[in-house]
């Protein structure tokens, strides 16, 4: 992407309405633009990040054996009447009527629809277990949309739904998602901690929220320090094997949000191991038994020929919220510091003197080595503008090329995360960036 031809609009002024760093930076870097309260356009830079986040979520869902589908955003109200949630949901649900006066709604979630789909096809226990997911826009008419994409009204969610024959099966499905979530967030450079959450009337212990620690988080959280030290990706996972050891490791150490905080259990932890902080919820997994399958009449024939009502769970990840959360966890005074796996571009090539034959040639060669995962700042701008923009947009690597260095065949390579700089030949610079 050549900046001289790109639509990557930045803002000079810090927008007054933005209260937290990620919101300010997303507006200043031209990632998103609000069109109504809590509803955003994803501009090219933001859209690239959103797609990278989405792809990591997808890969880790697929690895568990879950299958991707795409359900519509608009749903018939009738399905929600069958589950009893049409009245229960309240003003967060955007209700619509079509030209024939049929009641519709913009989906805030998809339990009803997926149950309807599954009941149309599943006939016997051999059709279980299954897990269907989609990555789709949701609408919730939040009373207080704020913090940019963190609490929007229209937002992108990954929601998965599992169907099992019995509780033991449902528990395994739950554990698969539990482990997949740990891996998903770790791949984005986030330390997400599963915390026990409310199960509602169903009871049991199969509901966890995944939170990352950040000063601007909306939740108060309490956890054992050991949970922050563990490297999730160092473990290989067999989703057909027994996942209990992994889940037990995480659930046997204290981690709770305000709502589930247990003062006595907390007091038993040595003070040096206690971490109390603010957290951002980025995912939520939930087992709810037959809450939807029973009222909606989803049944399959069991191995003994008797009809069985499948046990279900649902598993959400706030895909668009994650973009804000990643920035909350990775920024400094100058701007964003993208972790490489979710960076909009891996490299920015800053040509300090476009038109200088030597600088142009070297910059073009480096750019070509990483295109389409690189931006080339070939604009007729001051060097200071280029440095500031590259820092703001947070590309993991910056390659600074000026006439003098170019004449000597040298590139100045800067790593955004650490600020480290090195003077390198073109070949060494390419190798360094490829090496990560
Ligand atoms: P919250 O407690 O933050 O309102 P929730 O419990 O209503 O969230 P879920 O129904 O569990 O959310 O949705 C799954 C995930 O979707 C959440 O973990 C969160 O990451 C994301 N999410 C929920 N509401 C929003 C929103 N208004 N804007 C952006 N992401 C959201
Ligand atoms: Mg929740």
Q: Which ligand is nearest to the CA of 314?
A: 1
pLDDT at 200 exceeding the cut of 90: no
pLDDT at 203 exceeding the cut of 90: no
pLDDT at 204 exceeding the cut of 80: no
Quick one: CA dihedral 336, 337, 342, 346, positive or negative? positive
Per-residue model confidence (pLDDT) at position 17: 86
Between strands 255-257 and 219-224, the pairing is antiparallel
pLDDT in tens, 296-340: 999 999 999 999 999 999 999 999 999 999 999 999 999 999 999
Per-residue model confidence (pLDDT) at position 319: 98
In the chain, pLDDT over 90 holds for what percent of residues? 96
User: What mean pLDDT comes out for the span 41-56?
Assistant: 98
Q: How far apart are CA 172 and CA 239, in angstroms?
A: 9
In the reported structure, the alpha carbon of residue 318 is separated from the centroid of ligand 1 by a whole-number distance in angstroms of: 6
User: What mean pLDDT comes out for the span 35-54?
Assistant: 98
pLDDT in tens, 127-157: 999 999 999 999 999 999 999 999 999 999 9
Q: How far apart are CA 287 and CA 247, in angstroms?
A: 15
pTM for the predicted model, two decimal places? 0.97
Which residue lies with its CA nearest to atom 29 of ligand 1? 151
Three-class DSSP category at 364:
helix
Q: Which residues line ligand 1 (CB under 6 A)?
A: 140, 142, 151-152, 155, 157, 281-284, 316, 318, 320-321
Categorize the per-residue pLDDT at 436 as very low, low, confident or very high, splitting at 50, 70 and 90. low
Categorize the per-residue pLDDT at 15 as very low, low, confident or very high, splitting at 50, 70 and 90. confident
| Location of each CATH 3.40.50.800 domain in the chain | 345-435
230, 295 Cβ separation under 8 angstroms: no
* CA atoms within a 13 Å half-sphere pointing along the CA-CB vector of 222: 19
Element containing residue 289 per DSSP (H, E): strand 274-289
Element containing residue 170 per DSSP (H, E): helix 167-187
In the reported structure, the alpha carbon of residue 299 is separated from the centroid of ligand 2 by a whole-number distance in angstroms of: 28
User: What mean pLDDT comes out for the span 121-127?
Assistant: 97
Fold classification of 345-435 (topology level): Rossmann fold (3.40.50)
Q: Which residues are registered as beta bridge partners of 310?
A: none
In the chain, pLDDT over 70 holds for what percent of residues? 99
- Atom number, ligand 1, closest to the C-alpha of residue 153: 27
Per-residue model confidence (pLDDT) at position 202: 67
pLDDT in tens, 345-368: 999 999 999 999 999 999 999 999
Three-class DSSP category at 149:
helix
Q: How far apart are CA 411 and CA 398, in angstroms?
A: 10
| Location of each CATH 3.30.930.10 domain in the chain | 3-329
In the reported structure, the alpha carbon of residue 10 is separated from the centroid of ligand 2 by a whole-number distance in angstroms of: 33
Residues written for the chain: 436
Q: Which ligand is nearest to the CA of 318?
A: 1
Q: Is 3.30.930.10 the CATH number for 3-329?
A: yes
Categorize the per-residue pLDDT at 12 as very low, low, confident or very high, splitting at 50, 70 and 90. confident
Which residue lies with its CA nearest to atom 26 of ligand 1? 151
User: What mean pLDDT comes out for the span 59-67?
Assistant: 98
Per-residue model confidence (pLDDT) at position 170: 98
Question: Lowest-confidence range among 28-32, 46-50, 56-60, 256-260?
Answer: 256-260
Per-residue model confidence (pLDDT) at position 14: 83
Rg of the chain over Cα atoms, rounded to whole angstroms, equals 24
Cβ atoms within 10 Å of 221's Cβ, excluding its own: 24
Which residue lies with its CA nearest to atom 24 of ligand 1? 151
Q: Give percent helix, percent strand, percent coil of the chain, each to the nearest 5.
A: 40, 30, 35
């Amino acid at each position: 992407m050549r900046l001289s031809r790109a639509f990557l609009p930045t803002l000079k002024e810090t927008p007054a309405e933005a209260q937290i760093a990620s919101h300010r930076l997303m507006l200043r870097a031209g990632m998103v633009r609000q069109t109504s309260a809590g509803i955003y356009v994803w501009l090219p830079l933001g859209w690239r990040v959103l797609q990278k986040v989405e792809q990591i979520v997808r890969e880790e869902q697929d690895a568990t054996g879950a299958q991707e589908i795409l359900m519509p955003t608009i749903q018939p109200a009738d399905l929600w009447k069958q589950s009893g949630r049409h009245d229960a949901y309240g003003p967060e649900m955007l209700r619509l009527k079509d030209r024939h006066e049929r009641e519709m709604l913009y989906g805030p979630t998809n339990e009803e629809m997926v149950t309807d789909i599954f009941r149309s096809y599943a006939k016997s226990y051999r059709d279980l277990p299954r897990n269907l997911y989609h990555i789709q826009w949701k609408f919730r008419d939040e009373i207080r949309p704020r913090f940019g994409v963190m609490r929007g009204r229209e937002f992108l969610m990954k929601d998965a739904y599992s169907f099992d024959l019995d509780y033991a099966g449902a528990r395994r499905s739950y554990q698969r998602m539990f482990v997949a979530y740990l891996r998903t967030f770790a791949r984005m450079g986030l330390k997400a901690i599963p915390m026990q959450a409310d199960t509602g009337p169903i009871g049991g212990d199969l509901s966890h929220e995944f939170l990352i620690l950040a000063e601007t988080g909306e939740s108060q959280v309490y956890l054992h320090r050991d949970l922050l030290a563990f490297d999730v990706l160092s473990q290989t996972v067999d989703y057909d094997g027994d996942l209990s050891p992994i889940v037990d490791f995480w659930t046997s150490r204290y981690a709770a949000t305000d709502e589930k905080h247990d003062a006595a259990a907390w007091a038993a932890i040595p003070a040096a191991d206690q971490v109390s902080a603010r957290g951002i919820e980025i995912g939520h997994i939930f087992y709810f038994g037959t809450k939807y399958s029973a009222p909606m009449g989803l049944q399959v024939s069991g191995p003994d020929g008797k009809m069985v009502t499948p046990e279900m769970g649902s598993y959400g990840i706030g895909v668009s919220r994650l973009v804000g959360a990643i920035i909350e966890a990775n920024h400094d005074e100058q701007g964003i510091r993208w972790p490489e796996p979710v960076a909009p571009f891996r490299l920015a090539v800053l040509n300090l003197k476009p038109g200088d034959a030597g600088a142009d040639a070297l910059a073009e060669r480096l750019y070509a080595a990483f295109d389409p995962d690189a931006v080339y700042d070939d604009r007729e701008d001051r060097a200071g503008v280029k440095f500031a923009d590259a820092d703001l947009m947070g590309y993991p690597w910056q390659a600074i090329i000026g006439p003098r260095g170019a004449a000597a065949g040298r590139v100045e390579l800067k790593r955004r995360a650490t600020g480290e700089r090195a003077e390198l030949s073109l070949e060494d610079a390419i190798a360094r960036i490829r090496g990560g």
